[in-house]
Amino acid sequence: MGTDDFENPRENTGKSKDGPTEDGTPSSDSSERPESLSSSESEAADDSQSIEDDSQSIEDMLLEFDQQEGLIRDRSLLDPNHIVEEDRIVGRDSQLQEVTKMLRVALGDNRPPNLFLYGPSGTGKSLITKAVCKNISEICETRDIRFGTIEVNCQDLDTLGVAIYELANCAADEAQVEVEVPKHGVATKEKWDELYRIVNENFDSAVFVLDELDMLVGRRDKQEPAFSRLLYQLSRAGANNELTAHISVVAISNDTKMMESVGSRALSSFTPEDVHFDDYDANQLQSILRRRQDAFFENVLDEDVIPLAAAFAAQTHGDARKAIDLMRVAGELAEREGDDNVREVHVRQAQDKVEKNRVLEVVRGISTQKKLCLYATAAVAAETANEAARSTTGYRVYQFLTDAIDAEQYHQETYVNKMKEMTTYSLVDFERRSHGPSSGMFLEFQFGERPETILETLREDSRINVVSPGEVSSVVKAQIRDET
């Protein structure tokens, strides 16, 4: 920026303090205080002085916060991904026994079977797998067996090549060695060979844990999804000695029908043992939270905090992750507000925040077309007594939205397929229903979160936000009237 952009502080040097300014008004010495101030000017001056007195440096604020007594004693217990002691695992005795029984053969330096763990989100699938593998690792260490757990979450892995590299990277971390091929710019076979090398050189036995495997779809031009090809290659590598270490593949999914999309070759080589995880009920969720309440200091949780957090989580497929998240967020909100206790109001505030964050996590990565399908369906659900939306009604609202923003409009079958795909995020579920014996069939969608939260979150997309919520509501109500 040039010097002409600023006023020169020396420009008026030598001019009389009482001389006129350029516009002819008399100037005054800025150092001279006027004889009197109006009341409003006096108040403003006092407020300014008060702000200066109250202002703190970042360091002062950090030190002050550090000296405050917090409410949370052990934050790791409020992390759903933290591997907890066995006595903190609630309501999963049969699943824990099954997984332990099948993976324990690794203790004898033998190959454990492959497993498929399925059920709704937050029902203990990952928790139990990690707990069992952690115990196996500790026992193997005493027996001089090199055991490794190679775990990846497939939610953000978009291609098979990226997934293979991530597995190699995790195996290298577990073995405390370096990956010797780049993430990009090399053939997929080179990544496979690097994964095999790391595992063969560093482990006698290993368990590959593929969490949320159904999310690894890969390129649409392939005949089968990427997760099917990954299962085939891993299980075949163990059988044909490309992997000399004994390996087991544990596939984890929220989608109970994932195996229906696995190709015939992968099915014949993978052949897993199935373990089903059902929803937690409200009482089990309370027990889970009570066994983690020592995360807080004594007597800081009000009596109704745990029952309320469990009740909120029970409404979302009995999701223990959500229950634990609610407790953490409620505690953090209470700390920020300087409260001495975590109270019901903090849980309710946490419910709003956690719910919105979960929806944000899902919608941030989906296409505009999926957002339009989801918005139309949630708009219908928000206006019905049971918060459900018929696919026929949702599609007509979708048509209105695409017309309103001049977006490409798909056929009803594509709209339905896109909504079905949303079930993998545990955000929406559906059932097939009929108008009656002489009428056609339709799908009825129901949401895992409040439809209003989904609508509010999706409106953060500027393309969707140009359509007035009131206008959408009027269209929905008209379509619902036409149904009856």
CATH number of the domain within which 429 lies: 1.10.10.10
**For residue 35, how many other CB atoms are within 10 A of its CB?**
5
Other CB atoms within 10 A of residue 96 CB? 18
For residue 123, is it within any domain? Answer: yes
Spatial neighbors of 109 by CB under 8 A, at least 6 apart, are 145, 204, 205, 246
In a domain, 59, yes or no: no
Encode pLDDT of 334-384 as tens digits: 999 989 999 999 999 999 888 888 787 778 778 899 999 999 999 999 999
Q: Where are the alpha helices (DSSP H) in 271-390?
A: 282-290, 305-314, 320-336, 344-363, 368-382
Residues 342 and 425 in one domain: no
Of 222, 236, 241, whose CA–CA distance to 161 is shortest?
Answer: 222
Q: 225 Cβ partners below 8 Å, 6+ apart?
A: 216, 217, 218, 261
CATH number, domain of 338, equals 1.10.8.60
The verdict on 404 and 444 lying in the same domain is yes
| 55 domain residue, yes or no | no
Task: Determine the 3-state secondary structure of 435 from DSSP.
Answer: coil
Partnered with residue 251 across adjacent β-strands are: 116, 210
Q: What is the DSSP string of 165-210?
A: HHHHHHHHHHHT----S-SSSS-HHHHHHHHHHHHHHH-SEEEEEE
User: Which residues, in sequence order, are bridge partners of residue 150?
Assistant: 208
Q: Are residues 135 and 174 in the same domain?
A: yes
What pLDDT was estimated at residue 9? Answer: 39
Query: What was the pLDDT predicted at 55?
Result: 66
Contacts of 116 by beta carbon, 8 Å cutoff, 6+ apart: 251, 253, 258, 259, 272, 273, 274, 275
My answer on whether 255 and 305 are in the same domain is no
Ranges of beta strands (E only) in 88-191 are 115-118, 147-153
pTM of the model: 0.70
Q: What is the pLDDT of residues 422-460, one digit of tens each?
A: 876 778 888 887 655 545 678 899 987 889 989 998 998
Give the domain extent around 395: 366-483
Q: Could you give phi then psi for residue 249, rounded to 5 degrees?
A: -110, 120
Q: Do 390 and 342 belong to one domain?
A: no
The conformation of residue 113, written as its DSSP 8-state character, comes to P
Last residue of a domain, one of 242, 276, 310: 276
Same domain for 411 and 347: no
Whole-number pLDDT of residue 56: 72
Q: Is residue 6 included in any domain, yes or no?
A: no
**Pairing status of strand 147-153 against strand 205-211:** parallel
Do 152 and 229 sit in the same domain of this protein? yes
The predicted pLDDT at position 17 comes to 40
Q: Among 339, 361, 383, which residue terminates a domain?
A: 361
Nearest to 237 by CA among 216, 262, 264, 206: 206
The reported pLDDT for the residue numbered 66 is: 54
Q: Which of 220, 248, 276 represents a domain boundary (last residue)?
A: 276
Specify the pLDDT at position 2: 44
In degrees, rounded to 5, the angle at the alpha carbon of residue 217 between the alpha carbons of residues 215 and 219 is 150
Residues 121 and 237 in one domain: yes
Residues 377-402: b if buried by 16+ CB within 10 A, e if exposed: bbbbbbbbeebbbbbbbbbbbbbbbb
DSSP-H helix ranges across 204-319: 226-239, 264-270, 282-290, 305-314
CATH number of the domain at 155, please.
3.40.50.300
Both 353 and 412 in one domain: the answer is no
Angle at 268 between CA 264 and CA 269, to 5 degrees: 120
Q: How far apart are CA 67 and CA 60, in angstroms?
A: 11
Is residue 40 assigned to a domain? Answer: no
Distance of CA 316 to the CA centre of its chain: 14
Please indicate, yes or no, whether residues 159 and 251 belong to a single structural domain of this protein: yes
Q: Has residue 56 been placed in a domain?
A: no
Please give the Cα distance from 78 to 309 (Å, whole number): 13
| pLDDT average per 10 residues of sequence, the chain (484 residues) | 41 41 42 44 49 64 63 94 90 95 89 93 93 95 95 89 96 96 94 97 96 84 84 88 92 88 92 94 95 95 96 84 94 92 96 83 83 96 93 96 94 91 79 64 85 91 92 94 76
- What is the Cα–Cα distance from 205 to 376, expressed in whole angstroms? 50
Q: State how beta strands 246-253 and 273-276 pair.
A: unpaired
Q: At what angle do helices 282-290 and 320-336 cross, to 10 degrees?
A: 50
- Within a domain: 257: yes
* Residue 68, pLDDT score: 59
Residues 125 and 263 both lie in one domain:
yes
In 3D, which of 389, 386, 457 has the Cα closest to residue 428?
389
* CB burial of residue 290 (10 Å; 0-12, 13-18, 19+): middle
pLDDT of residue 366: 86
Asked whether residue 476 falls in the same domain as residue 380, the answer is yes
Mean pLDDT of the chain: 85
- Domains: count for the chain: 3
Residues 296-346 have pLDDT tens digits of 999 999 999 999 999 999 886 688 998 999 999 999 999 999 899 999 999
Distance of alpha carbon 69 from alpha carbon 73, whole angstroms = 10
Q: Is residue 478 part of a domain?
A: yes
